[in-house]
Amino acid sequence: MGKVAVGAAVVCAAAVCAAAALVVRHRMRCSGRWARAMAILREFEDKCGTPLGKLRQVADAMTVEMHAGLASEGGSKLKMLLSYVDNLPTGDEKGLFYALDLGGTNFRVIRVVLGGKDDRVVKQEFEEVSIPPHLMIGSSDALFDYIAEALAKFVATEDEGLHPLPGQQRELGFTFSFPVRQTSIASGTLIKWTKGFSIEDTVGEDVVGELTKAMERVGLDMRVAALVNDTIGTLAGGRYYNKDVIAAVILGTGTNAAYVERAQAIPKWNGLLPKSGEMVINMEWGNFRSSHLPLTEFDQALDVESLNPGEQIFEKLISGMYLGEIVRRVLLRMAQEAAFFGDVVPPKLEIPFILRTPHMSAMHHDTSSDLKVVGSKLKDILEISNTSLKMRKAIVELCDIVATRGARLSAAGIMGILKKLGRDTVKDGEKQKSVIALDGGLFEHYTKFRSSMESTLKELLGEEISESIIIEHSNDGSGIGAALLAASHSQYLEVAEA
């Protein structure tokens, strides 16, 4: 072999060695990155842990805070608001009732005809109306006039046989899903607007008074019989169909709970005790916090950067508004520190709230062998393509960690309510049924969240007691529930009973 040939062979061998070394280095780098990404995931999983012992501590803390909030105003992070609802529907209600459900950029007007025990809801009609953006930042009169006009138009479509008796007013249940300081069953002052509304002259005013004046201006003879929030509407709707309903929980974009308390167990209650001996309490449980909650650095960062730092900590761990955002934050860390999606951090992944909980749910529920739903969501929402099956599996696992923590904490919250009411034990062998009415998109559509919450509650209660605790879906409480509360607080009830 000539010198040239030997030289060429040596160069060639060197090139092969260099290429092999590059491949090895690349593999090592990739495996190093993967190990780092998995370390971030495992550490996060560890900090999100919700063993039964921890959940019991959360439930106990919830019970303690409930007692404190009932004892005095401002005594707890739980507001434990008096709803002044002391009569829940029984099923005996009869007649024509209206509801107005205002909770966002749309409102609904609802008409319900109730037929008593045998016929229940004879007829139900509703209409949805969107609010023009300029009215959300205009004047109080302009907004309420617009609502009253829509209500008057809807009333004008009443069937001939439905009109109230001569001399009787129509009655309305008003679901108003903004922070209100309630002062009676049919009055409450607006604390602040949320959800894009900003009408200064309504703040501090009685929202029922504002609506009543607007109805008078458009010539509509109607009385607001009950002012409620959506959680209390859900409780009323649940109780109407099932007398064993004792509490209601909303698990949707936000979260809240309400339950039926003995009036004597409310030290801060100053008025006369209601005839029924009961009072519905709006817990505002989204604001619950405890040192036992499994908070991670991602949750703390989300809270600091939110519109309401330090508030609604429980809600930020369990509600639909935030679950997808927690997943995004962990993925961003994996991308930044472990090049999880390659050398460049995907720009879309840096946009807060771009990954919504319905996207997360779709990925979490992906049963295809190649996890193609996960792949398409990453591509469509975050513009990340070419993900390996291994990466997709890691993302599904991340969704599972976040959803499971939220679901198990929700169950601990419900356990706290059951403990407060003494329904977490069996008394002298008696089997008292306790039904919790649940509503909200997270509960209704995120199947893995729902089943994890239900199985956790069974674990916490134990087999014997869990047989008497039932979770029931109570659909559209905020609509029909308000009409039912108007019926159970009607000014004509005394007349009917006399």
User: Exactly one of 86, 101, 206, 230 is catalytic; which is it?
Assistant: 230
Of residues 289, 226, 232, 227, the one with CA closest to residue 258: 232
Q: Determine the Cα angle at 490 with ends 486 and 494, to 5°.
A: 155
| Residue 125 CA: distances (Å) to CA of 60, 99, 112, 212, 236 | 43, 10, 7, 22, 19
User: Three-class SS of residue 395?
Assistant: helix
Provide the 8-state DSSP code for 221.
-
* Residue pair 289/261 in contact by the 8 Å Cβ criterion: no
- Other residues' Cβ atoms within 10 Å of the Cβ of residue 131: 18
User: Which amino acid makes up residue 153?
Assistant: K
Task: Answer left, alpha or beta for residue 199, where phi above 0 means left and psi between -120 and 50 means alpha.
Answer: beta
Examine the residue annotation and report whether 420 is marked as an active-site residue of this protein. Answer: no
- The DSSP bridge pattern shows strands 245-251 and 434-439 to be parallel
- What is the rounded CA–CA span in Å between residue 241 and residue 280? 17
Provide the 8-state DSSP code for 10.
H
- What is the rounded CA–CA span in Å between residue 407 and residue 20? 49
User: Exactly one of 195, 372, 379, 393 is catalytic; which is it?
Assistant: 195
Q: What is the sign, positive or negative, of the torsion defined by CA atoms of 37, 38, 44, 48?
A: positive
Examine the residue annotation and report whether 427 is marked as an active-site residue of this protein. Answer: no
Assigned token pair, 86: 């002391």
HSE of 386, CA atoms in CB hemisphere, 13 A: 4
User: Three-class SS of residue 473?
Assistant: strand
Helix, strand, coil share of the chain (percent; to 5): 50, 15, 35
Assigned token pair, 233: 């509407």
Helix intervals (H) in 350-492: 357-364, 372-382, 389-420, 441-445, 447-461, 463-466, 482-488
* Residues identified as active-site: 195, 230
